[in-house]
Amino acid sequence: MLERGEGAHSPSICTPLVGKDRKELLTELAEILLKKPDIIEWRLDFYEEIQDINSVLSAAKDIYENSERTPILLTVRSQKEGGQPISLSEKEVVAVLAEVCKHPYVAIIDFEVSNQPEHIRYLRKISKENKKKLVLSYHNFSFTPPKAEIFKSLFLAEFYGADAAKAAVMPQNNQDVLTLLEATREAEKELSIPLITMSMGGLGAISRIVGWMYGSSVTFAVGKSSSAPGQVPIDELRKIIQLTKKVTDPENYHSHQIGSI
């Protein structure tokens, strides 16, 4: 589900669940499951009743019971990092994530590494106590920062004891995409936890296809609806990744070359 290793395996494919109510969530979930993702991310910031913890828990239970054992990643993306506007404060978001952690409904939670250190430490404690994995993430929907800043966010996630570090940035040109991939490759050699990285938008779509070759362990794809720009439909993404693995396999390349002589 979350593993390390530059180019060692195909990435896990995660698809977003963005329904605004329980009916939409379950309809969307049924369509997504037909495409067999490895992980499903429930973007709770899209949920209309996010402020009602009983409604959140009830919806989480419904998703869990109908997910065919697909691991659920729970995310409340903040508006400053590309999420939907919500009425909850950061402290209230922490309380929601902590409460859901106490139940078997989710396997992983996502929290932004830019949040208050005391909130990060508290969620790390609660998630560990309830045997949930913690992804600490960084998103920049405006531009791609220097490689050193991407490094900083990834290393900070490890410093806080996260189970995985995530960085998603927006490119302005092709060089920005290379910056993200180079940062991933170099960070993978230094960090001891799995990385999840991507360059967003149309320019960055290639990073969702080849990021695993540089050390990214998870890529995000469209199951029914997109949660970020540049996500590729899951069926197409899986085929392209499989083809990429085939043509970049040294044994396949060697056999092809010999057969062409």
Take residue 216 and report the two structure tokens written for it: 């990214």
Q: How big is the CA angle at 179 (ends 173 and 182), to the nearest 5 degrees?
A: 145
Given the residues 139, 224, 239, 254, select the one marked as catalytic: 139
The 10 Å Cβ neighbour count of residue 223 is 28
Q: CA-to-CA distance for 236 and 256, rounded, in angstroms?
A: 25
Q: Give the strand pairing for 39-43 and 72-75.
A: parallel
119 catalytic? Reply is no
Given the residues 119, 132, 133, 166, select the one marked as catalytic: 166
The DSSP annotation for 145-175 comes to --HHHHHHHHHHHHHTT-SEEEEEE--SSHH
139 catalytic? Reply is yes
* Cβ(136)–Cβ(106) below 8 Å: no
- Angle of helix 174-190 relative to helix 147-159, nearest 10 degrees? 30
Residues annotated as catalytic (active site), given as ranges: 139, 166
